[in-house]
Amino acid sequence: MTLLYTDARFLLHETGDHPECAERLHHITSHLETTPLMDRCEQPQWEMISDQVLLRVHQRELAFRLQGLAEQGGGQADPDTVVSPRSPEIAKLAAGAVCNATQQVLDGNARSALCLVRPPGHHALPDRAMGFCLLNNIALAAQSALDRGVNRLLVVDWDVHHGNGTQACFYEDPRVGFFSAHRWPFYPGTGSVEETGSSDGLGTTCNLPMEFGTSRANYRQSFQRNLEDFAARINPELVLISAGFDSHRLDPVGSLGLEIEDFSWLTSTVTQIADTYAQGRIVSALEGGYNPPILAACVAAHLESLLINGSEAKDWDI
């Protein structure tokens, strides 16, 4: 079974004409409602994360700063990152969804989960919101899994931007393997092949920088080869995906020339890793993707591949 996390409250993180806007989720849910996919998922209820959980990853000063901006009527957490009056609450709701999904999958109540949340999270550092991200949803979910006794987990980040926040959270932690395939050179400027972890975490970070103009075939070949080798070293009990769709060729913010079918393939490749090492346990959280109609189609392809557990067969037309 696959769990699907959606909530109209995510639209209340109001960002105006910012690329990371409510229209993104509106297009996704509207498109999914035209397909049989939502009916094939269970849609659970959940709560926002507590401050206690938040502080397992983030510093208290970040929470104070976000709340202060909200109470002033909103503002900028950094030049790229908008805070509106309800943004801290909605960010906690988003993180709560990914943490709840992780708990449900670890408890055996579902094999996989997709969390259609905003704001995204993978750029958020322990002490800083940045890159459209307020709280690091995937890092909070990973920490919740570690706190429950998971000894090894793998985060796969295929957003066009390097997941610098997630990498920073676990750079010295040998229990978390972080794999990122991203455009290079590009924002946020991190993610070189030389960044492989440090201290006890040396060797548990794998960055796969891709130059603009890399062919789709070369992207796939490099992604699969490097991920399979890395996963064999990590031997994860759980797989988390930072699912960004801004590497689609029509994305106005990123683009690595990918097509919708490439996200089906990426999903299938990662679910095969989960099947091999983690009893199929996989949780995916939405990150980037800023062409709303294209984003919606990519998410549908991603969800279908989760539902069919990595099979490349298609039973409907997206």
- Positions marked active-site: 123
For 259-307, give the secondary structure using H, E and C. CHHHHHHHHHHHHHHHHHHCCCCEEEEECCCCCHHHHHHHHHHHHHHHH
Contacts of 117 by beta carbon, 8 Å cutoff, 6+ apart: 5, 10, 93, 94, 97, 98, 137, 285, 286
User: For residue 6, which amino acid is it?
Assistant: T
DSSP assignment of 28-68: HHHHHTTSSTGGGSB-----PPPHHHHTTTS-HHHHHHHHH
Closest CA to 260 of 271, 245, 270, 272: 245
